[in-house]
Amino acid sequence: MQDSTLNMRLEFVKGVGPNRGETLKKELGLVTVGDLLTYYPFRYIDRTKFYKINTLTPETQYVQIIGRIISKNILGEKRTKRLVVAFKDDTGLIELVWFQSINWVSDQLVVGNAYIAFGKPTIFNGSFSFSHPEIEPYQSAKQSRGNLTLQPVYGSTEKLKKFNLDSKGLQRLTVSVLDQALAQVEENLPQLILEKYSLPDRRSALLNIHFPKDETVLNSATRRIKFEELFFIQLQLLNAKKLRQQKFKGALFAKVGEKVNKFYTEYLPFDLTNAQKRVIKEIRNDTQTGAQMNRLIQGDVGSGKTVVALMSMLLAIDNGCQACMMAPTEILARQHYASICELIGNELITVSILTGSTKKKDRILLHQQLEEGAIDILIGTHALIEPKVIFKNLGLVVIDEQHRFGVEQRAKLWRKNFIPPHILVMTATPIPRTLAMTLYGDLDVSMIDELPAGRKPIETLHLYESQRLRMFGLIKQEIAKGRQVYVVYPLIKESETLDLKFLEAGVELLGFEFKRPDYQISIVHGQMPNADKQFEMQEFVEGKRNIMVATTVIEVGVNVPNASVMVIENAERFGLSQLHQLRGRVGRGAEHSFCILMSGDKLSKEARLRLDTMVKTNNGFEISEIDLQLRGPGDITGTQQSGVLNLKLADLTKDQNILIEARKTVLELFENDPTLEKPENILLKTFLQQKSQGISMDKIS
Ligand code: ADP
Ligand code: MG
């Protein structure tokens, strides 16, 4: 491939030079001409319309006017020094004013000549003026690309502007390399796909994303480029999945044996929901193929993921394997351990726990038991990943993820066995479909989209500070019924001391209202010693305390079915998924439960939307979609994971349809041509081969 222009460093482009080249790299990460070609405008100005001066109103936004300069004068002294240009068309006169670069601008302008002035009119002393308009000679503007159509607007920075690389400057730079660069751009999508989805070819898409002549070509160029971005991500994800299925055998869980049956008939205290049954069946199917299972279970708080995980682990045990379950925090690991022990006891199987705080003596014993196969299920934190932890025969790994474990860590667990264990990832709160398809695009996805029967929905109230007494009243009423109450304060990252202050002030206030010995209060926050934390929590869990005041440490922690009220203080400071997660702490028993969101009177638009959403719905899937709209994909995942979300144009919040289309296209592609042997698919095969040389499979998959 002849690609000298695309790979040429920008500093060698005529008129750029080392300084501007370096600044482009530092400020925008643009190194080569190819980079510049994919530095897309973020909006466009319609330069096809011209306005007449007599149609301007005080409300008029940015417009352009064709006129002639009839005079130019430099007025004022020092601070008030300015260039004032009288600009006239056949309907009237306006002033163009500059306060900076006065001499330079003045030198460019010739009285008597025609120009196009672009700016936003303001009224001064009853007449309109433009301050610091863009101005260009009428003739040359007509010839310059992008100036008389939809003009691209590029993101720039203060530093770049100093180098004359504002949006206009970037536009000029792009124009200067465009034709030469485009000539070297090669199509990277098969013709059949372009035809099927009516996508323009790559060259014209790139031309039209920068310099569209109208809205129609812009839209199809945009769609093509987004499709391309999403297509290649899906191609990598689904290819990795395919390779893994070919390469990695999984333990065969051929039979449903004694332990599953016994648990199901003798231990299980409730009927499974249809959703739970369906997901268990999906897992059962996966583990009978001989290939490694990689499945994501999405289910709302309280949808009953734990029992699904347990039954899957029993399936592994029935087939001669061990299982482990990994949680992101120690508290959560302990919680899982407790719930699993409660469900199954310690007779049918042996369950152990391993975390960072497991004592060395216990640890040594545990390692030994594990290796001998005396432990069936090991629950823990990322301590499980350590090389010292060796299983006799690990068949299934359950990861309770909450977006905290990276792809790398998942991979480490696979290597714990000769035959890689099956992987079941559970998300604590649902993530939007588009994100799941991208972040977990290499996994199969199961949804537990049904809550266990008889669960009464949680009533969510949003109260202002002035309604605090109502909140106190509700708490008292619930405590009188024997219920327990959480009061949660936000964790403010910038200042733990400030957190504590909030919490302490809150505790004092509560102390007035809820006096001993009638009321007992537990206090739990991040700065207290672990042992104290455990003790306070335990007291609450055992029902010895009525109220637990806490910072967000309880978010993923305790399971107290008797708790029926969740008060969230400063609720406007929490993100949506966090609020939903917290709310999930109540409503675990069959009682009517409440979630009370306390907020200040002044709310930002977004905060209001978050609180309104909470009041309106209990559905985690719905909430996750709104959360994604509000925060964008990067924030939701916490990290910009492995570049998967490095999208230049496509937006996972808005381009769901294109994403679905792209994924479907890749699925069809692999179906028709699994090894991409057909001539029209060779370029895709080459792409994947190049990628796999650069990125190891663990990284993509
Ligand atoms: P999550 O999906 O949030 O992890 P859990 O697995 O902790 O949910 O389940 C929440 C509660 O619901 C637990 O007390 C669990 O025992 C109970 N539960 C789970 N499945 C059912 C069911 N099918 N019927 C009734 N209760 C159930
Ligand atoms: Mg859970």
- E strands, 355-393, in order: 377-380
Map residue 162 onto helix, strand or coil.
Answer: helix
CA of 356 to the centre of ligand 1 (A): 27
pLDDT tens, position by position, 512-528: 999 988 999 988 887 78
Query: In the prediction, which pLDDT does 335 show?
Result: 84
State the average pLDDT for the chain: 87
For the chain, percent of residues with pLDDT exceeding 70: 91
Q: What is the distance between the alpha carbons of residues 89 and 131, in angstroms, rounded to a whole number?
A: 18
Q: Does domain 49-148 have CATH number 3.40.50.970?
A: no
Q: Which atom of ligand 1 is nearest to the CA of 561?
A: 14
Give kind and range of the element (H or E) at residue 232. Answer: helix 215-247
Q: How confident is the model at residue 301 (pLDDT cuts 50, 70, 90)?
A: confident
Pocket of ligand 1 (CB under 6 A): 270-273, 276, 299, 301-307, 452, 588
User: What string of H, E and C letters represents the secondary structure of 384-439?
Assistant: HHCCCCCCCCEEEEEEECCCCCCHHHHHHHHCCCCCCCEEEEEECCCCCHHHHHHH
CA of 334 to the centre of ligand 2 (A): 12
Q: Half-sphere exposure of residue 397, counting CA atoms within 13 Å on the CB side?
A: 30
> Is pLDDT of 669 > 90?
yes
> Is pLDDT of 280 > 80?
yes
- Atom 10 of ligand 1: nearest residue by CA position: 302
Phi, psi of 47 (to 5 degrees): -100, 15
Q: What is the distance between the alpha carbons of residues 291 and 244, in angstroms, rounded to a whole number?
A: 8
Nearest listed ligand to the Cα of residue 400: 2
Pocket test for ligand 1, best of 273, 306, 425 (most atoms within 8 A of CB): 306
Give me the amino acid identity at 683. L
CB 8 within 8 A of CB 32: yes
> Is pLDDT of 10 > 90?
yes
Query: In the prediction, which pLDDT does 174 show?
Result: 96
Query: In the prediction, which pLDDT does 696 show?
Result: 36
Phi, psi of 665 (to 5 degrees): -60, -45
CB 611 within 8 A of CB 670: no
> Is pLDDT of 507 > 70?
yes
**294-310+319-448 architecture in CATH?**
3-Layer(aba) Sandwich (3.40)
Residues of the chain with CATH 2.40.50.140: 49-148
> Is pLDDT of 202 > 90?
yes
459-464/294-299 β-pairing: unpaired
Q: What is the distance between the alpha carbons of residues 701 and 699, in angstroms, rounded to a whole number?
A: 6
∠450-273-540 over CA atoms, to 5°?
80
> Is pLDDT of 40 > 80?
yes
> Is pLDDT of 615 > 80?
yes
What is the average pLDDT across 642-652? Answer: 71
pLDDT tens, position by position, 11-30: 999 989 999 999 999 999 99
DSSP state of 50: -
Distances (CA, A) of 248 to 149, 233, 252, 362, 412: 55, 22, 12, 34, 14
Nearest listed ligand to the Cα of residue 339: 1
Q: How confident is the model at residue 639 (pLDDT cuts 50, 70, 90)?
A: very low
What is the average pLDDT across 144-155? Answer: 82
- Atom 22 of ligand 1: nearest residue by CA position: 452
pLDDT tens, position by position, 49-90: 889 999 998 888 888 899 999 999 999 988 889 999 999 999
| Topology (CATH level 3) of domain 459-617 | Rossmann fold (3.40.50)
92-98/82-89 β-pairing: antiparallel
Q: Which two tokens stand for residue 110?
A: 């010739």
Q: What is the distance between the alpha carbons of residues 344 and 581, in angstroms, rounded to a whole number?
A: 26
Order across the sheet with 92-98: list the strands. Answer: 121-124, 127-131, 92-98, 82-89, 63-75, 114-119, 134-137
- Atom 11 of ligand 1: nearest residue by CA position: 302
Beta bridge partners of 85: 72, 96
Helix runs in 481-600, H state only: 496-513, 530-541, 576-583
Query: In the prediction, which pLDDT does 496 show?
Result: 62
Q: What is the distance between the alpha carbons of residues 521 and 478, in angstroms, rounded to a whole number?
A: 15
Q: What is the distance between the alpha carbons of residues 440 and 670, in angstroms, rounded to a whole number?
A: 18
> Is pLDDT of 643 > 60?
no
Q: Which of 270-279, 281-290, 415-424 has the lowest mean pLDDT?
A: 415-424
pLDDT tens, position by position, 486-504: 999 886 555 666 666 777 8
Order across the sheet with 459-464: list the strands. Answer: 459-464, 594-599, 563-568, 484-489, 547-551, 521-524
Residues of the chain with CATH 3.40.50.300: 294-310+319-448, 459-617
CB 257 within 8 A of CB 318: yes
CB 376 within 8 A of CB 234: no
What is the average pLDDT across 264-286? Answer: 95
Q: Which atom of ligand 1 is nearest to the CA of 272?
A: 23
Q: What is the distance between the alpha carbons of residues 458 and 468, in angstroms, rounded to a whole number?
A: 20
CB 439 within 8 A of CB 644: yes
Query: In the prediction, which pLDDT does 492 show?
Result: 56
Q: What is the distance between the alpha carbons of residues 298 and 348, in angstroms, rounded to a whole number?
A: 28
> Is pLDDT of 295 > 60?
yes
> Is pLDDT of 332 > 90?
no
Q: Which atom of ligand 1 is nearest to the CA of 276?
A: 23
563-568/484-489 β-pairing: parallel
Distances (CA, A) of 525 to 460, 504, 534, 551: 24, 10, 11, 5
> Is pLDDT of 603 > 90?
yes
Give me the amino acid identity at 450. E
* Cα-based torsion angle of the residue sequence 607, 610, 615, 618 in order, rounded to the nearest 10 degrees: -160
- Atom 17 of ligand 1: nearest residue by CA position: 304
CB 559 within 8 A of CB 486: no
